[in-house]
Amino acid sequence: PNDVGILAIEVTFPSQYVNQSELEQYDGASTGKYTIGLGQNNMGFCSDREDINSIYLTVVQKLMENHNIKPAEIGRLEVGTETIIDKSKSVKTVLMQLFEPHGVTDIEGIDTTNACYGGTAALFNSVSWVESSAWNGRYALAVCGDIAIYAKGSARPTGGAGAIAMLIGPNAPLVLDRGTRATYVKHAYDFYKPDLTSEYPVVDGKLSIQCYLGALDKCYQLYCKNVNKKSNIQVDLNYFDAVVFHTPFCKLVQKSLARLALNDYVQTPSGQRQEKFPGLEKFENVKLEESYFDRDVEKAFMAFSKEAFTKQTSPSLLIARQVGNMYTPSLYSGLVSLLISKDISKLAGNKIGLFSYGSGLASTLFSITVTKNYSGDSALHRLVSGLSNVKTLLAQRVKVEPSKFEATLELRQKNSHAAPYEPTGSVESFFPGTYYLTKIDEAHRRFYDRI
Ligand code: ACO
């Protein structure tokens, strides 16, 4: 099969949020720390009515309904998540409740976990299946979702929640480029979840940022090499129409784009630097591995790449600014944001770079080519129209006081493994079509209903 990639995308996020300015004040943080310092406006969060299963049920069912996909048309379903509520039973098996009643049980694929990287693993596995001898002509579904919450303290404003489902098959409007993607994986204790009774990670914030930026350097260098080998093209930032990043918080993404400019600078022979990078002469001897927290380098390259950021990356932060870090779907919420921010005629034919990062750590830089045909009956048009309600839903969310946000997180933490359990959260503000938890029985079995 040719042009294997993403045919349709569905996104879901919580219908309630906390405002980051209000949270700054409530937490006693200095004014501007979360909004300007981290670049976040609002943060979505879940009550005790939602868990990882319910948000997956919501996003998968919505995708099938919105795009008129029959259960029998799905041949593989891959889940990528780091929100673990059961050490044995996969989220994938829970999702079979949407297929079994239709007599569909022959669906391959299971859950994959490594921090925020699981969604990318699900996407790659799905694409590989379609390209393989095991393919049976049906679609694959790559689904990613998480509830990202941190203990009280400096990491808490970098939470979020949501899920994304992607329909994978041939002749797609978003084609995954072959033979160029670049991966970097290594052992690191930057962010991990050793306490199986808690939803909170153990996190070394500074180390996680260093690991993220270091992985970005390595992936970008290898990606450039791979493209050069394949097509004899020298990649630099201008190669991409858009660059989308895993987004722990938006400010880090702006720094990441600047980091790519810094990589371009380092790759450029000294003699050509003056012309391509005017005003940056004083960084002649800069070393990538010594510059993760070098304020002068950061400031200079952020200023240098400001226009590129506005054009190539800022549109992809629409959802991240409003919802926060969704973990596994974060990168793909960036893709959705880009698709709904740019005029379809300007999107057609684009080359999109995507950087996926999951702590621990696993990372990949890969690229997508958007098809050129954007006419009314094109696959690209169908994909983009399918996302037409995202901005409306973002605007329809309900703002909740920081004190209630904190109480909700405390309730979740206290009851994260309680059984039996009767959730008390209100279901009134849920968007139509949302699945929610009705009860957990004494044997830890979970039951759901739909609004
Ligand atoms: N006005 C404007 N900016 C401010 C203000 C203010 N009043 N106060 C602080 N700032 C700026 C700081 O200068 C800093 O920006 P800079 O680094 O560009 O200078 C930014 O706000 C954050 O302030 P810090 O003091 O660095 O914040 P802190 O160390 O308390 O926490 C951190 C930030 C480490 C990101 C924390 O939120 C965290 O641990 N988050 C989770 C880990 C994470 O997201 N890691 C990223 C990759 S891994 C992953 O995806 C989970």
Q: How far apart are CA 206 and CA 293, in angstroms?
A: 9
Top-level class of domain 5-450: alpha beta
Consecutive H or E run containing 5: strand 5-12
Residue 126 assigned to a binding site? no
Given the residues 10, 24, 78, 82, the one annotated as active site: 82
- Whether 355 lines ligand 1, by a CB cut-off of 6 Å, is no
416 pLDDT tier (thresholds 50, 70, 90): confident
Q: Give the pLDDT mean for 78-82.
A: 98
| Average pLDDT of the chain, as a whole number | 97
For residue 191, the one-letter residue type is F
Residue corresponding to tokens 């995507």: 354
Q: Whose CA is nearest to atom 37 of ligand 1?
A: 155
Is 255 annotated in some ligand binding site? yes
Is 208 labelled as part of a ligand binding site?
Answer: yes
Is residue 435 pLDDT above 90, yes or no? yes
Distance 152 CA to ligand 1 centre (A): 14
116 part of the active site: yes
Res 307 pLDDT > 90: yes
Kindly report the protein residue whose alpha carbon is nearest to atom 1 of ligand 1.
32
Instruction: Give the pLDDT confidence score for residue 446 in this predicted structure.
Output: 98
Told to judge if 246 belongs to the known catalytic residues of this protein, a careful annotator would answer yes
CA 205–ligand 1 middle distance (angstroms): 8
- Residue in 158, 206, 210, 211 to alter for ligand 1 test, most ligand atoms within 8 A of Cβ: 158
Establish whether residue 36 lines the binding site of ligand 1, counting it when its CB lies within 6 angstroms of any ligand atom. yes
Neighbours of 270 (CB within 10 A): 8
Tell me the C-alpha distance between 235 and 15, whole Å: 41
Quote ipTM for the complex.
Answer: 0.98
Predicted local confidence at residue 352, as pLDDT = 98
pTM over 0.95: yes
Asked if pLDDT for residue 273 goes beyond 90, the answer is yes
Residue nearest to atom 32 of ligand 1 (CA): 205
Answer positive or negative: Cα dihedral of 278, 280, 284, 290: negative
Q: Is 4 in contact with 130 (CB distance < 8 Å)?
A: yes
Domain extent listing, the chain: 5-450
Atom of ligand 1 nearest to the CA of 157: 37
Cis peptide before 432 (omega within 30 of 0): no
Residue type, 150: Y
* CA proximity to 176, closest of 60, 335, 408: 335
Catalytic (active site) residue 82: yes
Q: What is the pLDDT of residue 174?
A: 98
**Residue whose CA lies nearest to ligand 1 atom number 28:** 154
Q: Given the DSSP bridges, would you call strands 242-245 and 446-450 parallel, antiparallel or unpaired?
A: unpaired
What is the number of other CB atoms lying within 10 angstroms of the CB of residue 438?
Answer: 14
What confidence score (pLDDT) does residue 91 get? 98
Q: Are 52 and 147 in contact (CB under 8 A)?
A: yes
Query: Which residue in the list 116, 211, 219, 250 is annotated as catalytic?
Result: 116
- Residue 400 pLDDT exceeds 90: yes
For residue range 174-204, list pLDDT tens digits in order.
Answer: 999 999 999 999 999 999 999 999 999 999 9
Residue 385 has pLDDT above 90, yes or no: yes
Testing ligand 1's pocket by substitution, the residue of 25, 38, 146, 259 carrying the most ligand atoms inside 8 A of its CB is 38
Q: What is the pLDDT of residue 17?
A: 98
